[in-house]
Structure 1
Amino acid sequence: MNSENSKWHILCEKDVGLFSLIQQVIGHIPLALMNNRIPVALYRDQCCYWTSQGYMNADNVWEYYFEPIIADKPASSLNNEILDHIKSRPPHFEYPGYLINNDVFVTNNFGNHKAFKGQTLKIPHQWDDPDRQLRNRAAKIIADYVRPRQYIKEKVDLFFEEQMKGYKVIGVHMRATDVTDVDEHNIHRRRSYSFQSFVEQIRRHLEEWPKARIFVGTDSQKALNGLIEIFGERVIHSSSIFHTSQDLAGTGPAGWVIPGYLAEDSQKAAKNGEEAIIDYLLLSRCQHLIHNGSGLARTALLKNPKLPHTNIHSKAAYFRSLIHLGNGELFKFLKFSYQHAVHELKKPVKRLIKWDQP
């Protein structure tokens, strides 16, 4: 497809989780449309979901799972001149992006740079969950521009018809493969996984809905097995790829820390991405969502702004843990806070990227 005479807003990948990439698209759509540019997700080999073999007849991670953001403008619409320029000068996530020319803007910033203030949707990705106003705005964007491919919709609809239709369903998303307690330097993820807290919240909702089913999306086989052991046949799930090894952490293609089981095999990672999208869509159709701090759960909240939810990992709960000196958490909090402050003060200017209002 010819890309001549088109104005582009090109979103490039980072070495992060799939739902951070999805939220990047959601956040940037208003900015692209405001500037009459065509948004396109060009997610290639610098994220762990990309595989050189391609996936489901697509060679771009976004299009593994979703229709092109604009239906008749897939990533293949971009000409070689644009692609070569991006390859030679990839955007840096700490900067807003740059203009190749008056018609082509390139970025891989999440959308929360101060230069974008008031122009992008600022989606929380640390402690906070999206508020109702943000969820309402994002839901409209998702409906119009974040459209799963037909093969995914068919799998979601089939599972829903067979396992969820006619039941109250408690959705549970358990992110359990953060490098918790020992090595995780992101304060908002420390101590984020508490199996017992999930169990307590599920039991609380079963008091209200005693015949409810429990749909579980998780990255941990151990966590899933634990819920099945307690709640039995009412637990349902659709995924088959889980973390099972002792190595919680792995390294992505750009050297960033990612869950270990995603670093093992790129084709397996691509399949895991499909399963995660299916989990997200099914969780968004539950009657209540119990979750910790994860992009997948928060994207389900964005898709369905009426979905009630409970976040078991609050900032208050974490900071209360600091007063229990025996667990060593206060020392780790001070250590990682200091390291983060030093990083911000001494951060090198890796490249000078000109910012022009797109």
Structure 2
Amino acid sequence: MAVNDKKFLIIDSRPYGLFSIFLHTIDNIKWAHDNNYVPVVRWGPGRRDPNHGRAGAAQASQMANPSYVTDRTNFVTDETPGSWNNTPGLKHCQCLYWDEKGWRGSLNPWEYYFEPLNEYTVENAENSEHDVADIFMVGEFDFDLENKFLIANLHSYEPLALWQLLERESEAELPHEEKYEFKHRAAVAEVISNNVVVKPEIVEKIDNFYNKNFSGNVLGVHVRGTDKKLEYPHKALPISAYIEAIEEYLQKQPDSKIYVASDNNEAIIQIFKRFGPQKVFVTNATRMQNYLSADPICLTPSTGPKHGEEVLIECMLLSKTNHLICTDSNVAASALYINPHITTTYLNRKHGK
């Protein structure tokens, strides 16, 4: 079939953290395959309203009236938006990891970290007569598509279905791989493994760290701080909640090592002080100093391609642990989706937050 005879789905990014846009991309990849579209990923300078111009968009997203949505930055005006230009006024819409000089030979941040999805390019899709950009066909306002793969709300990608499924009381007595949570995670893992290939130079860094530090049972801990304190309804828990969960796990697995991934140094320092450098290990990464810093790294001048790689490495290493202590972070969610066999201590459930 000629390129012009194909239907393309161009998957753009929005100004959120790496694994927020990663999970959104996975959702759209699945939609594309389910609906006979060819997906291509075009993370970059940014676009305002990814639903603009799609048949049924007004019904599906209420885009015609910004007062209906909570995420106003995606609905800047009712005028026809630009779709691939970092024009004045759109700075806040660009991919937070984009660099105008590019990285690893590409101007597309997806290709900073991952291989292209297939043999087709963004240019193929843009020049096709049958292309559509970033249609959010998953979510509570999609009246026609029954499958809601990852997200329930098409405006903010939240809540992830995962957070509603982890550690449900109704499944507490079931073996892990008999839980619906596992089946859901395994379905997402299949889409990821069939479509996403991490760049080999990043895989090499992950493997080197893994081979040097991982042995026996490894507990993963992901501490999401900084602006998490502002999120509703799941605000940041105190660092002590993570330490208590680690202590409980070590009562059952006293020889376990502890791999900690975090957006801040304060949490890492406290965990090191409590459990010691013989047990705890971390990767080198740029982090905020304080647990409750105003912004995460990706919203500061320290963001960029390198920071995205650091977060990706942390997530991939978390996915190689035996058990994960976490709150509702997209980094933790992605690790749990990449490896559905990991068991969890989901602190939001544990603390009713």
TM-score by structure 2 length?
0.73
From the superposition, tell whether residues 206 and 53 of structure 1 become closer, same or farther in structure 2 (CA, over 3 Å): same
| Offset of residue 136 of structure 1 | 1.3
Query: 2:115 touches 2:196 (CA, 8 Å); kept in 1?
Result: yes
| Offset of residue 226 of structure 1 | 1.0
| Offset of residue 245 of structure 1 | 6.6
Query: 1:219 touches 1:242 (CA, 8 Å); kept in 2?
Result: yes
| Offset of residue 316 of structure 1 | 6.2
| Offset of residue 110 of structure 1 | 8.1
**1:140 to 2:187 alignment:** no
Summarize the alignment of residues 105-144 of structure 1 with structure 2, pairs less than 5 Å apart.
Answer: 105-107=132-134, 109=136, 111-115=138-142, 117-123=145-151, 125-126=158-159, 127-129=163-165, 131-144=181-194
Q: Which runs of 4+ in 1 moved over 4 A?
A: none
**1:279 to 2:306 alignment:** no
Deviations 1:287-321 (Å, cap 9, x if unpaired)? 10000110010111111111100111238623xxx
Match of 2:234 among 149, 164, 189: 189
Secondary structure at 2:304 match in 1: helix
Summarize the alignment of residues 71-90 of structure 1 with structure 2, pairs less than 5 Å apart.
Answer: 72-79=119-126, 81=127
Secondary structure at 1:187 match in 2: coil
What are structure 1's unaligned runs of at least 5 residues?
83-100, 251-258, 319-358
Summarize the alignment of residues 36-185 of structure 1 with structure 2, pairs less than 5 Å apart.
Answer: 36-45=36-45, 46-70=94-118, 72-79=119-126, 81=127, 103-107=130-134, 109=136, 111-115=138-142, 117-123=145-151, 125-126=158-159, 127-129=163-165, 131-164=181-214, 166-180=215-229, 184=230
Match of 1:263 among 284, 291, 299: 299
Deviations 1:28-69 (Å, cap 9, x if unpaired)? 222211222111111112121111121222211111111112
TM-score by structure 1 length?
0.72
Instruction: Look up the equivalent residue of 1:272 and give its one-letter code.
Output: H
Structure 1 Cα separation of the partners of residues 232 and 301 of structure 2: 29
Percent identity between matched residues is: 28
What are structure 2's unaligned runs of at least 5 residues?
46-93, 153-157, 167-180
Summarize the alignment of residues 192-341 of structure 1 with structure 2, pairs less than 5 Å apart.
Answer: 192-233=236-277, 234-244=279-289, 248-249=293-294, 259=296, 261-265=297-301, 268-314=303-349, 317-318=352-353
From the superposition, tell whether residues 197 and 243 of structure 1 become closer, same or farther in structure 2 (CA, over 3 Å): same
Structure 2 Cα separation of the partners of residues 105 and 42 of structure 1: 12
Structure 2 Cα separation of the partners of residues 213 and 110 of structure 1: 42
Deviations 1:116-150 (Å, cap 9, x if unpaired)? 63245133644535622220110100111122111
From the superposition, tell whether residues 247 and 215 of structure 1 become closer, same or farther in structure 2 (CA, over 3 Å): closer
Query: 2:319 touches 2:336 (CA, 8 Å); kept in 1?
Result: yes
Q: Which residue of 1 aligns with 2:22?
A: 22
From the superposition, tell whether residues 145 and 277 of structure 1 become closer, same or farther in structure 2 (CA, over 3 Å): same
From the superposition, tell whether residues 74 and 218 of structure 1 become closer, same or farther in structure 2 (CA, over 3 Å): farther
User: Could you tell which deviates more after superposition, 124-133 or 295-304?
Assistant: 124-133
Instruction: Look up the equivalent residue of 1:305 and give its one-letter code.
Output: P
Structure 1 Cα separation of the partners of residues 115 and 131 of structure 2: 21
Deviations 1:241-290 (Å, cap 9, x if unpaired)? 1012799345xxxxxxxx2x323336x43211111111111111101000
Instruction: Look up the equivalent residue of 1:44 and give its one-letter code.
Output: G
Instruction: Look up the equivalent residue of 2:247 and give its one-letter code.
Output: R
Instruction: Look up the equivalent residue of 1:18 and give its one-letter code.
Output: L
